[in-house]
Amino acid sequence: MAVLRRAVTGAAVLLAAGVVLRAGQDAPPVFRAAADLVQVDVTVLDRQRQPVRGLTADDFTVLIDGEPRAIQTFAAVDLAERTAAGASWMHEVPADVADNRLAGEEGRLVVILMDRSIPVGQPTLVARDAALAIVDELGPGDMAALVSTSGGVPQNFTADRTRLRRAITQRDWSSGVSMEAAEIDDGVHEPGLFTNLTDPRCLCGLCQPHTITRVAEALEDLPRRRKSIVFIGTSFTFQAGPMLQQVELGCGQKLEDARKKMFEAIDRSGVTVHAIDPGGLRVVGPVSQAASTARGGPGPRGAAARQVQAVGTELQQTGELHVLPDRTGGRVVMNTNAPQARVPEIIRESQSYYLLGFEPDDDDEPGRVRSIEVRVNRRGVTVQARRRFVVGGGPADDGAARALVDGLLPSAERPMDLSVAAFAAADGSRVAHLAIAAGVHGLAPPAGDEPVVEPLEVVASAYDPTGRPVASARQTLEVEWPAAGLERPSRVDVLSRLDLPPNDYELRVAATAGGDRQASVFTHVTIPPFAGAKLSLSHVALSAGPTVRSAPPDFLADVVPIRPTPQRHFRRAEGAAAFVRVYQGTALDAPLVPVGVRVRIVDSRDVVVRDEALVLQPEAFAEGRATELRLALPVAVLPPGEYLLRLEAGTDDGEIVGRAVRFAVD
């Protein structure tokens, strides 16, 4: 696999802003997090578990370690319905630009947690249906992630419903433990006692609390969004019985320690945990007193003893599924063959919520954990909110760094957006060039009398579907910021590149300026098999007018003839263009054929405002079995609003491919 390790040489001058970028030495980026106010997101539910709207700051009381604290900021959030008005593409077509503004925007963050306790067979199908129902209920500003206690993050946070659905359906979520396996006497476990505790793939059941702890820690520093974990599984392990002593000593203590850490992380994050049991209706028969004294073995008495064991296990599992929902104010859905039908009720609970902010004590010790209690002067209501917070500045206040390491959420100290576009290699090889454009905002230091020169470090890393890092690129530049009184750029588009074979990837890009101002952003990209596909399209790269500053400006000149930008909002006075390549199998020797291309632009009412068609003749593909299209976006004549650029390419033998890019005119 080719990995770019290309140094930035020479100097590039951005004349419009007076910014100079020079080569520098590689250094790892530093990630920190900070906040001036302690913020709390609060959901208030009535007796029917419907959100209570119309409350004001006077209706709330915040207690810190039992003492009242004045509320400094207050906001009521009422999220848009998922069936919001507008063209269907506005809800179904995801933006091709990712950003890290999770902490600064309202909406839901939903973690779908597929547990390894899901049995094989029908429960696996039910679990998948429940997860898909969650995706279907997501609103316009919501994001979801798919996590598994079997290991890894199959899908990071995204608003792309297609990608979420694919991640849910492409994997078998069952534990692999069938009823037949549960009856096997392997010399270690008694027949019928093969459980989540004794499974060596999750010994002691530690994978469950460990996974929830990591998720809760990653969500801790995102107070503007309502956060929930939907646990989908048939059981949760909270304690270890004596039978585990023959498997691993100290299992009970390990589980107790993990449980305590999980509760603390949940209390700090304010996440609401819901549980969905995909096991269907549970039927447990009566057990007689005589049978209750029998030990497991062959014959009627052994069968009765196993039934006693089943009853106990059933009651324990039922109770344990309630522990986290009861602690956080969530729901438990069980004893139904169609739990997916209850999903809309779960999602609607967070349709409306409140944001409270208060000042921490000036003399409080950094890293200290303090309790929070939120009260509402209404009878019969349930309050969902965080129970603890960590005083800023201490070693425990590292949520952004944890999120970056855990691969669940980016760091958002500075706004950052990202677009990526894959193009086939010119030599016909199976490795594609991934053009990366990261727009970094607000990195300029305070203006002084003299220009300031400081390093700008950018790291781009790609991870395969299993979460394994497969490629990385690092650039270290020096930025000269103008003195006070001169124009300063609000953003800089940093260009980078990775070379990767066809596959699905998660891409993470991090930038640090001056050693202490940083941001990171995550996205996903699918690289098509340009070499072997009869017909394929590159991603669509957009370029903007001269007001966009790129650094280094010609870094991607050998990949794409324009300077790609993640900017998707254009002023009518500035130019904007789209670039795409069309391929007919760069490694194939089949005859070249004509390719029809249709280009359409539709507005937010689904009205077609531009519709053009052209035919690319075979001779256009003579060089490398590829040709390119440059399309000027008519932003100067389009009314302000949101638009969708659609491109479709097809051949007479039925090959059809397409791309879609959202953009807006201000």
How do beta strands 369-376 and 569-570 pair?
unpaired
Residues 112 and 56 placed together within one structural domain of the fold: no
In this structure, the number of other CB atoms found within 10 A of the CB of residue 191 comes to 16
In a domain, 636, yes or no: yes
Question: Are residues 455 and 559 located together in one domain of the fold?
Answer: yes
DSSP 427-459: T--S-EEEEEEEEEES-PPPP-SS-EEEEEEEE
The size of the chain, in residues, is: 666
Check whether residue 540 and residue 565 sit in a common domain: yes
CATH number at 240 reads 3.40.50.410
Q: What is the pLDDT of residue 475?
A: 84
| pLDDT score recorded for residue 405 | 31
Domain contains 313: no
Q: Are residues 362 and 241 in the same domain?
A: no
For residues 576 and 539, membership in a common domain is answered with yes
**How buried is residue 362: exposed, middle or buried, by Cβ count under 10 Å (0-12/13-18/19+)?**
exposed
Long-range contacts of residues 545-549, Cβ cutoff 8 Å, at least 24 apart? 545/574, 545/575, 545/576, 546/16, 547/16, 547/574, 548/493, 549/14, 549/16, 549/17, 549/19, 549/489, 549/491, 549/492, 549/493
Query: Per the structure, how many domains does the chain have?
Result: 3
Kindly report the backbone phi and psi dihedral angles of residue 327, in degrees, each rounded to the nearest multiple of 5, phi listed first. -70, -35
Residue 335's CB: how many other CB atoms inside 10 A? 13
pLDDT for the residue numbered 176: 58
Residue 556 CA: distances (Å) to CA of 504, 550, 566: 22, 10, 14
Classify residue 367: in a domain, yes or no: yes
Tell whether 526 and 578 lie within a shared domain: yes
Is residue 438 assigned to a domain? yes
Per-run averaged pLDDT (10 residues), the chain, 666 residues = 28 26 31 58 95 96 94 91 71 85 78 92 94 93 89 82 90 61 40 51 83 90 88 84 51 87 94 94 52 46 50 57 94 94 95 92 82 94 93 46 44 83 90 93 71 81 85 81 63 89 91 77 92 96 81 88 93 90 95 97 94 96 94 94 96 95 94
290 located within any domain: no
How many other CB atoms sit within 10 Å of the CB of residue 250? 12
Q: What is the DSSP letter of 464?
A: -
- Residue 380 sits in the same domain as residue 511: no
* Domain final residue, candidates 372, 399, 426: 399
Q: Give the Cα separation of 588 and 577 in Å (integer).
A: 30
Q: H-helix or E-strand containing 532?
A: none
Backbone phi, psi, residue 187, to 5°: 90, -15
Q: In what order do the strands lie in the sheet with 416-424?
A: 98-99, 416-424, 432-441, 491-500, 550-551
SS3 313: helix
Does the residue 203 lie in any domain?
yes
374 with 486, same domain? no
Residues 6+ apart with CB under 8 A from 302: 294, 295, 296
By C-alpha distance, which of 538, 537, 651 is closest to 593?
Answer: 651
The CA distance from 539 to 581, in Å, is: 8
pLDDT of residue 334: 93
d(CA 249, CA 253): 9
259 and 117 co-located in one domain: yes
Residues 332 and 390 occupy one common structural domain: no
CB-CB contact of 367 with 390 (8 Å): yes
Residue type, 232: I
293 falls within a domain = no
- Identify the pLDDT of residue 197: 55
Q: 538 is in which domain, residue-wise?
A: 11-31+413-665
Unique residue bearing structure tokens 């009627």:
300
CA distance 155 to 158: 8
Is 258 within 8 Å of 209 (Cβ atoms)?
Answer: yes
Question: CATH number of the domain that 533 lies in?
Answer: 2.60.40.10
259 shares its domain with 395: no
Does 123 map to a domain?
yes
CA–CA gap between residue 118 and residue 213 (Å, rounded): 20
25, 44: one domain: no
